[in-house]
Structure 1
Amino acid sequence: MALLGRNWLTGYENPLVRLYRIRVRHAVIICLPFWFVLLWYTVLPLSEHYSYNHAYGYDQPLTWEIFHLRLSDQLHRDWRRFTLPQVSRKARIPTFELFLSNSQLASLDRDAPPKEGKGKYAVGVVRRNNRDLKARLRYRGLKHWNWNYAQKSWKVRLDDELVRGQQTFSFINPVNPVPFAEQIILDIARNNGLLTPDFFPIRLMLNKAYMGVYWFMGQPDEFLLRRNDRFPGSIYSGNRAESVEKNGDSSLFYRAKYWKKPGSRLAEAKPDKSDLQQLLDMIWKADAARFASFAHEHLD
């Protein structure tokens, strides 16, 4: 059999010769899939780089090293996705399903990144154990990995029902490959008698699409107290307050107005933060004897 000529037995021309003599338009058509793959893996790293800059407000220049790094990450992600086994219907961890219309999802995307505090909610359904629960949902987290990719973090507020004795909770997309540290810390604290919110792995589905393993995170609010047979009281949370103090310290530790109050004994008492202000004043203004007396009377 000839390598580059006609086969002396069949008389047919060798395929390599025919490929060498192919017309340009036919060659272009044959090469289109290869050009498409090349273009695809050129655009994806570029898109990720500029999307990251936009999300963080950076102006990081694109170098060959950064392009190579992002291309390598993209190829590794696609290879892992291609080689993953099919998702099993049964799992040893809980499965939650979210259902939102395309218009509601588009509304959340337009509002990204989510606002800190009270953000824009969409109307949807949370399904758990074949129960459909009406809920309001929004993206959660200001970091780009929480809202800038397909696997977004969610905050859920149920309208009427409760899940594990709570009405508000979050589905967190972990940034760490092995995000067990926080669960271990909370488990240790819980075993030592401290009140801690739920934090455990789940499987999340969005409109029947498998989104991967997330973390269910409970909200430290009055439902946490009720679930632990405690009478509801004031619960405060604070983060990143501005500084108007002469010494440059954060005003979070001086003024109660910079704190949020997600829980209180009575609904009408929620705006009142005098108990927290009293504690802050005693920390910075009282001497040791007065603070010891205050702690003995007010702190558990």
Structure 2
Amino acid sequence: MSEARRRGVVTAWLLLVPGLCACGPAGATASEPGVAVEHPGERVRMAVIGDYGLAGPDAEAVAELVRSWSPDLVITLGDNNYPDGRASTIDENVGQYYHSFIAPYVGRFGPGADTNRFFPSLGNHDWRTPGPWPHLDYFTLPGNERYYELQWGPLHLFAVDSDPQEPDGNTIDSEQARWLREHMSASALPWQVVYMHHPPYSSGDHGSSRGMRWPFAQWGADVVMSGHDHHYERIERDGLPYFVNGLGGNPNRYSLRRPVPGSMVRFRDAHGAMLVEATPDRLELRFVTVSGEEIDSRVITRDPVLAPVPEP
């Protein structure tokens, strides 16, 4: 975030209207990346899961952990629906565990949410069914639903589609990258979080997706999250924390390879999820196992910027 943007954060924050809900600019079409806006308060609790979409005891244990946190919203780092992103498996793999966060929910596992609080990003397994139409039909997301932005309290979240089949591209000079650069650099919210499937940096079996090494810090990001490799890792690069969070429920936990430069924490011994707690001047990101053990914690703070007080 630039210094000019930092100075404007609190002023813009004070102008936000609680309860406002919008779905992109007037005239937006289904092919445009839209924005969902929610302002439930200055303090937000968010769960982050990755590589979770395979029904079974591991996925259930992670879902129980997530529900125990009572998060305001859940975001995912892809591979929501193993093995092939089919319509016949998505409700069992996702709705069975997370229906209470999804709206509208039309599956068979219980009541859905009044307002959608579940915001997935696409993974390579979700793209194995061309389209990937089962994913797009099952979830109700902003704009083109493949990549989009979400404003929730002090968080400005950007879901990126890192798959090479993305129609708008996944390279640094793609239409999708142009959208991210323009929208993230213009954000006035305190925290910009990018989340996607393929990791720019990873010490796991798949390794780093070098094509996703976009200049996120230069464009204004505070955090970058990804999955794909089935382990947990925090890498510090370019002044940013990069997270690999792929222990959301797939029973196949991957091996760890030679640590990439900047790798600070690596873990593969148990499934778990990330808990993110945000206020306008503090962002805390933790990885917690299904047994409740905290493996890692990263805190980012900034001095609050006070709006000028009018002279009497």
Q: TM-score, structure 1 length as denominator?
A: 0.23
Higher relative contact order (CA 8 A, sep 6+): 2
| Structure with a larger share of its residues in strand | 2
| Structure with a larger share of its residues in helix | 1
Q: TM-score, structure 2 length as denominator?
A: 0.23
